[in-house]
Amino acid sequence: MTEKRNAKYIAKSRAIASRMLGGEMMIMSAVDSTFFTLNPVASVIWQAADGRTQLSEIVEQQVCSEFEIDMETAQRDVERFVEELSAHGILLVSDCPFPESSISPTEAA
Amino acid sequence: MSLMQEMGQRALDLGVPMSVHFDVTYRCNERCVHCYLDHDDHGEMTTAEIKRVLEELADAGTFFLTFSGGEVLMRRDFFELLEYARRLMFNVRIKTNAVMIGAAEARRMMELGVDQLQVSIYSHRPEVHDAITKLPGSLRRSVEAIRFLTGQGLRVVIANVLMKANVGDSAGVQALARDLGVAYTLDPTITPKMDGDRSILNLRIPGAELSEVFHNESLVGNVEEFCAPPPVPAEDAMEEYPCSAGHTLAYISPYGDVFPCVQFPLPSGNVRRQKFIDIWRHSSELNEVRSIQARDLPVCSGCSHVGTCTRCPGLAYMEGNMRGPSTADCEKSFHRTGIPSANMLRQGLSSPSAPAGPLIQIQSAVAWI
């Protein structure tokens, strides 16, 4: 696959625990025990954060199609979501695909 | 309501076993005088069996997984199990005496993203600690291990089980915890042995000293608030459930037996014969535990402490009736507030009888599930 300009990839940190509960994702950071919950839209993005799929593809294929949100709005909201989670260190962001060793054990499996 | 409490409520509403306490072995390198376990191996689950159970727990929605024992590191496959559990994205906490944790083990635990470790320390004095564990040098080794763990940035909680032999050492252990930069929790829970032998209950601290503990600001925080008389129970107090045992919490033994809680030995199924989720959903024992509300407790429902008591249904069960009072908790309420429980009044007691001793669980700094 040819990488697009300004491509962005997201991957879950290895230092987290997560589980779906009633349609929302619970996440706890192993670094500082901060606890997060994600709404159903954010949960879909989280589950798709495999370190190999471009963020724009996730937005287009997982968010816009499943939740009937226009691309521009979705892209803006997702960027904000990614920024927030990466600031807490539970989501990793890169402009190229992640090597297997740096992403969460589940994704590497 | 905090975010965590909200999710706990949601797990309760959905019937999800959010927390599981998993004893992977009863074998231990220490022989603590107060331990309730039989340390022989009567057929522990294999590595493959435990991995399968972990998968079933993940599928059932379990998020908080506590590995305990016995001493978890007595299993040669412990790190394989830990790695597998983290691969399944559990929040993993470990209860250990830490004696077998060196620099390499601490580093591996950090790499695997262990959330917390709870280490048992009985005294800051080796002669007291080692006499309780019956393992010479154990205090030195446990403290060294805590330094390895904190050096890796891991969170450690010292659990200070309190009994007659070390009742005067809680301040010393607290100071040790401060020196090590770790949290401290006081836990004088002494339970009967698994074979029913109640002799170790004589190790429990006597009530007068418990009262001192409850009035010690460094242990309980605001004494006035902590020891306040119980308020008039809220309107919905009779609809409350006693605790999370069997509601959002389960316990699994090294032999695959499932119980509502580690302190509630009501056999509810075995994961070697049934899937965990089938036991969780359909066990008549767990369903009975879940059905009990405060209104169903013949003595406790009429007690002034009903809204604030820490009544443990498991301890009540061990006394013969899961709907009955837990004498140890009656005593806690009495020594905390000076007001006798309905159970004590019923028996014509204005103060609790020895030797049935008190049980308290006071925690500072870090929550442990």
Of B188, B170, B138, nearest to B34 by C-alpha is B188
- Of B56, B115, B59, the residue nearest B82 (C-alpha): B115
Distance CA B293, CA B300 (A): 11
Per-residue confidence (pLDDT) for residue B127, from 0 to 100: 97
| pLDDT tens, residue by residue, B229-273 | 888 887 777 877 778 999 999 999 999 999 999 989 999 999 999
**Is residue B49's pLDDT more than 90?**
yes
Per the CB < 8 Å rule, is B113 touching A37?
A: no
Q: Which residues of B touch A105 (CB under 8 A)?
A: 83, 86-87, 89
Contacts of A16 in chain B (CB under 8 A): 89, 113
pLDDT of residue B366: 36
For B337, the token pair is 């507030």
pLDDT at res. A105 = 55
Q: Which residue of B has its CA nearest to A25?
A: B7
Residues of B in contact with A21 (CB under 8 A): 7, 10-11, 14, 16, 18, 61, 63
Interface of B with A (CB under 8 A): 3-4, 6-7, 10-11, 13-14, 16, 18, 58, 61-63, 83, 86-92, 113-116, 153, 155
Tokens representing residue B2 in the block: 């905090």
**H helix or E strand, kind and range, residue A33:** none
Does residue B309 register a pLDDT over 70? yes
pLDDT band (50, 70, 90) for residue A96: very high
- Residue B146: count other Cβ atoms within 10 Å of its Cβ: 24
**Mean pLDDT score of chain B:** 89
Answer whether residue B211 shows pLDDT above 90. Answer: no
| Most confident range, picked from A70-74, A84-88, B136-140, B195-199 | B136-140
pTM exceeds cut of 0.90: no
Distance from CA of A4 to the nearest CA of B (A): 31
More confident residue, B111 or A105: B111
The answer to whether B89 contacts A37, with C-beta atoms less than 8 Å apart, is: no
Neighbours of B193 (CB within 10 A): 15
Task: Report the chain B residue with the minimal C-alpha distance to residue A30.
Answer: B115
pLDDT of residue A66: 80
Higher pLDDT, B352 or B286: B286
Taking CA–CA distances from B8, the nearest residue in chain A reads A21
Are the beta carbons of A49 and A63 closer than 8 angstroms? no
At residue A26, the pLDDT reads 93
For residue B360, the model assigns a pLDDT of 36
Residues of A in Cβ contact (< 8 Å) with B83: 105
B78-110 pLDDT, tens digit per residue, is: 999 999 999 999 999 999 999 999 999 999 999
Given this model, what pLDDT does residue B351 score?
57
Residue of A nearest to B92 (CA): A17
Signed CA dihedral, B62, B64, B70, B75: sign only: positive
Per-residue pLDDT, A104: 59
The three-state (H, E, C) secondary structure of chain B, written as one string:
CCHHHHHHHHHHHHCCCCEEEEECCCCCCCCCCCCCCCCCCCCCCCHHHHHHHHHHHHHHCCCEEEEECCCHHHCCCHHHHHHHHHHCCCEEEEEECCCCCCHHHHHHHHHCCCCEEEEECCCCCHHHHHHHHCCCCHHHHHHHHHHHHHHCCCEEEEEECCCHHHHHHHHHHHHHHHHHCCEEEECCCCCCCCCCCCHHHHHCCCHHHHHHHHCCHHHHCCHHHHCCCCCCCCHHHHHCCCCCECCCEEEECCCCEEECECCECCCCEECCCCCHHHHHHHCHHHHHHHHCCHHHCCCHHHCCCCCCCCCCHHHHHHCCCCCCCCHHHHHHHHHHHCCCCHHHHHCCCCCCCCCCCCCCCEECCCCCC
Mutate to test the interface with A, among B115, B157, B248, B366 (most CBs of A within 10 A): B115
Q: Given A30, A36, A37, which is nearest B115 (Cβ)?
A: A30
Per-residue model confidence (pLDDT) at position B155:
95
The secondary structure element, H or E, covering residue A25 is strand A24-29
Average pLDDT over residues B45-69: 98
